[in-house]
Structure 1
Amino acid sequence: MDLGKYIHQLLKHRNEVFVKGLGTFKRIHTSSVFDERKSVYLPPVTYLEFDAKSANGVDFIDYVQQSFQLGRQEAEALVEEQVIKLMEDIKDHGLGQLNHLGQFIKHGQSLVFKAEDLSGFQLQPVEGDKVPEPEPELLPSTEPAAEVEVPEEEPVIADSEAEEVQVEEPVLQEAAEPVELIEEPVRSSSNTVWYVIAVLVAMGIIGGLFYVNQNKETAAVPSTDSLAQEQPTVLPVDAAATLPTDSLTNSLDSLAQDTLAHVVEEKKPLIPANHHWQIVIGSHRTLAQAYEQAESFNKAGITSVRVVPSKLAHNLKKVIWDSYETKEQVDSALRYVQKHYMADAWPDKINK
């Protein structure tokens, strides 16, 4: 097993990977940042780090167990064998190579990890537009506007206009005082008139309603002749009796067939009985995580992705791409899935 290749493949999907016996490999990504002092955009940087004292991250043994379809002890033994081999190379030659990741170099009693891919540090900063340029443009535009308004108002005011204003002020004061004295009695008299009119209208409405109700009561008393004429027309006809029995039975049969067909559609099995293989694209500890991954594929238009619940509660819940009848069909579909969607997908035989 190529230890570096599988760690690199897992780091494409996870930021931290823990390898028992070595430590934790971390994929660090720093976004682009604008340097205001130099007016440049610093490029984004992606690189690998190694922490021998950390135990965080995805367990690499679980990944090996799923990829090779091995038991837990077998996967631990396989990883331990590769780690021991790497340590022997470091002890004998002073360095150990991990493909696609880098080198472990012996430095005294400690190890130094030298990453292989340092392309992110070769990017150069990009010059950006100056941010404070638009701010000084707004300040001069508002200041002259305030200065222009002040001189415009001063020349417009003339002596003749000032005289006219002084003449108008006493006229308005004299006219306003008598108007207020006259409006008060008018409003009180108008209010009393409206009250009288409202009372008269209400009395007229009450009298009209009383007269109409009396006429309705006299008209509502039926005569014996009208009752005799209306009785034959009230006789009901049973519509159900006129329907033929064949039509009733046919409608009931059609309803029963529709309900049976609907029940059969709902009880479609999750995996058909003749399917013996499936492609697993993920395994999770909880159903919520499994359904979240399946829904992301379903929203993208891939409706064959679904969740297969585990038989025991503590087992991992699998998310499958689809199920197949033969091993040949699984191998053909697996190449397509690994190339376009999930590089770490693996085949799995269905236990029934």
Structure 2
Amino acid sequence: MDIGIYIADLLRNQEEVSLPGLGTFTKQRIPGSYDSTNNSFLPPRYQVSFDDRLTEPSGLSDYISLKKNLSTSSAEYFVKKFAAGLSDLLETSGIAEVKPLGIIRQKSDALTFEPSTDFDIGGRFYGLKPIAELRKTVSQPVSEPIVPAAISTDSIEDFINYQGDEEIEDEQEYVEEPRRNRLLLLIIGAFLFGIIAAVLLYFFNPQTRNLIDKMLPTYSSSVPVKQPAETFEKPAPVVIPDSTKAILPSTTPDSAGFDSTSSVNPVIKEPVSAPMIKIEIIGGSYGRRSEAEAYVKAMKAKGLDAKIAEDMPGKLFKVSLASFQDDQTAQNELNRIVQQVEKKAWIAKYKPKKTQ
């Protein structure tokens, strides 16, 4: 079993692999450099090195056991056998090859390692390859002298300044564009957050909901609303003579010149009554009927004739604590309820909505 192949596989994924009884193979980073012999630039790369000092176990036996479907004890046996064979070669010949990593040499009491040039450990920094140095070829000078045209120094300075201004403007636009986008996103996010917070407060915070209901102009004002007086003109009586009765001439006409025997039946239209205004003391407004019914039970337990005002305009369920016909009585009862039962109660005057 060629253990060197499994060592090379592990080095592609981790920094070092230890070989029991011999040493540790490590992955060393080589920075980019210039090769003066070949006139080329070498990119950064990784290279295998060897250290005869042992380190902690690096999982070589476990890796071989997984790859070859062997038990851990069998894999450890093959690893130790491989390390013992390398040690025997170093003692007898002073050289041992670990394919495909390189060659280990023994000089006096130290071990040296020569990495193989054919082994690619991977991670060559995005696949960069050596680049040959570009050299300019100088052509032979022309025999006839060439007289350059005169160039104004002012035009050169204008060209340099123009190029510089363009670059500065491009950089400013590039920097300002992300700032505008971030600012716009922050404004939109803050606006959406405010809307969501207001909706949550309205539906889940009864105090906020009651405060908003009090501010609504339809029925939240406790100031009496003066209804415009509707005047109805009483129509003039219409005289309808009875055609079934004959009108006899009277020998003695009255002083007004009318026939006293004639009958007059006036028709009078009844005045239209003004729409009814209801006065209720409201204890709270709720978005769900179940919440309103629970509040009704609580108020009834305190001795109030509480009910849900079904004919009150709006989408919320308003709980009425008492109903009245005049403002003064309602105001007196409101003062008592606020002091003894519900501090947030208020008076609502409204026209009952039409029920289908």
**Range into which the TM-score falls when normalised by the shorter chain:** 0.3 to 0.5
TM-score by length of 2: 0.33
